[in-house]
Amino acid sequence: MNSASDPPPKDKEPTIAPFPIVGVGASAGGLEAFSKLLGALPIDTGMAFVLVQHLEPSHKSHLTELLSRATAMPVREVGERMRIEPNHVYVIPPNAELGLAERVLHLVPRSVHSGPHLTIDAFFQALAGSEGRLAIGVVLSGTGSDGSQGIRAIKNAYGLTFAQDEGSAQYPSMPRNAVTTGAVDYVLPPAQIAAELARISHHRYLVLPSGKSDDESLPDGEAGLNQILSLLLRATGVDFRHYKQTTFRRRIGRRMLVHRSEDLRDYLAYVGEHPDEVQELYKDLLINVTSFFRDPEAFAALENKVSAIVKNEDIKSSFRVWAPACSTGEELYSLAISVLDVFERDGIRPTVQFFGTDISDRALQVARGGMYTEHSLQNVSAQRLSRHFRKVDGKYQINKGIRESCIFARHDVTRDTPFSHLDLISCRNMLIYLEPVLQKSLMPIFHYALNPSRLLFLGSAETIGSATDLFIPVDSTHKIFSRKPGPSRLIQAFANGRQAGEPWAQVQIETSIGNLELEKLVDRVIQTRYALDCVVIDQNLEIRQFRGHTGFYLEPPAGRATHHLLRMARTGLEYALRETTSRAQQQNQFIERRGIRIEHAGAERIIDL
């Protein structure tokens, strides 16, 4: 018993097993889509549903009352610090955004700015950060692109994603923009979305067994996982054995959920019947979490360090930057803007070269186009937006001058020959997805690639580990390091005849290296004999590799994308290229042409070929 002076006992929150939370976003035409979705849902899925619609901020909303007629589940308008319960529906109030932490909804006043309020993106991103693989995102009818970035965040957090099909949507642009991100798992009418949600509600990937940790419920079985690793290596040339295994298993679990596979054996059987699934799993594994000027304070610190190099050292005729794992290009373009702004401010004009590499062909295609939504530019200042971007069909494209200085290429930093003579490497938020053995193997690569005293820029959660003999911190807070002098550990690897494509971690694998032997030969010839700007072509004059800065000589033509050498040649160069390549093929000897006049940026240049 309590004495009169004892405080009253606190009510304990009931313990509820984790359950999926479904975020549903809509704009124009949303009431009809919401009603069809809720009307087709069973009332006992064990899921909670949070509905986010664009509402007029100054008018009372009747959405809660109207949607209560569509379902027998309780429908409530969200109040401050409202705890989410399964088999309930929660509706956003007017003039607010929603936050989520520990399954408690928070009301966030809408910010005052001139751009669109991306209320759906804000909640989806909070949902992804809070719930991980128990997060589900649904984009229904509406105008604009709200929800697209949030859908990507949910998928990257191992959650499941849906979009309404265009045929059933009153206003299809919002679900269409979500689908174009490549992050949507299902495209269905609202009633079929409801049926799919009901089906997956009892899947083992979403229902965590009592007393088991999250990791214990993930797909397991060494033989099955190794078989998937082998399939990925054979199909893509990428060895995922030293990527974080928890991440790997979560991605497989997500694909099992998409395809109704109850265990790893079922999933392998599905893969055997649908070989394209290996590529879909590969896309899932290539985590795409990026934006312009991610962590603006870190970029400001980096600009100060670049400026210090400019002021204290003699900058050569060029300044070279590499962003491995560049994803869809936002990181490299941010670096280009920062570096170019520093050079203009400090009054120097070196030739600049920016290299972005990744193992995702789809991401590189987006990067080369340089086209982005307004939401991804939220950290770009108004001044930089007007100066470095132009608006095209409702999106923003990076200016041609910067695009031409940025070269994007497929390259596996853990296996392929590294770049060299660089002044800055930015490798942010890749190391955290790699096992320690692979993290450790990358530090000598970066040391080899950088010029003495030049900069390595890492993510906020990353470190150089034990490589203190290779790098010294120059800004520990923002993870900026300087290359220490001394020979590179990779020199010995080259001297010992390391095979092109062999992992730098010295992990032995069985794979065909026919194409990689070609890369090794080309690398040796170019690095030891020529060191010029060049391309490697095949017998059909298709460009297979770009080396150095080729923007002075080649540019993508208007119309259908191509890598044909003659179609990409700048004015004045096509005839000379046609003649010399033909002679080189026919005579099998070195062909040289001097004094060729070409046009670039409105000026004439004389080059040697």
Active-site pick, 54, 375, 478, 549: 54
Residue 470: Cβ within 10 Å count: 20
- Burial of residue 345 (CB within 10 Å: 0-12, 13-18, 19+) is exposed
In order of 338, 358, 547, 563, the CA distances from 402 in angstroms are: 11, 19, 18, 20
Distance CA 25, CA 600 (A): 47
Residue 22 contacts residue 138 (beta carbons within 8 Å) = yes
| Strand segments (E) across 285-338 | 318-324
> Can you tell me the distance from the alpha carbon of 493 to that of 211, in angstroms, rounded to the nearest whole number?
48
Q: Which of 126, 122, 203, 195 is nearest to 162 (CA)?
A: 195
Cα–Cα distance, 398 to 367 (Å, whole number): 10
Nearest to 206 by CA among 196, 217, 195, 219: 217
Place of tokens 């795409």: 288
Buried b (16+ CB within 10 A) or exposed e, 563-602: bebebbbbebbeebbeebbeeeeeeeeeeeeeebebebee
Q: How far apart are CA 111 and CA 126, in angstroms?
A: 16
CA distances to 125, 329, 408 from 461, rounded to whole Å, are 19, 21, 26
Q: Which of 121, 145, 146, 185 is catalytic?
A: 146
User: Is the separation of the CB atoms in 304 and 251 below 8 Å?
Assistant: no
For residue 471, the tally of other CB atoms under 10 A from its CB is 21
Residues in the chain: 609
CB 235, CB 244: distance < 8 Å: no
Q: For residue 276, indicate whether it is catalytic.
A: no
Q: Any residues with CB less than 8 A from the CB of 452 and at least 6 apart, and which?
A: 483, 485
* Alpha carbon separation from 179 to 123, 174, 429, 557 (Å, rounded): 18, 9, 25, 28
Q: In the block, which residue shows the tokens 């604009």?
A: 144
Examine the residue annotation and report whether 146 is marked as an active-site residue of this protein.
Answer: yes
Active site members: 27, 54, 146
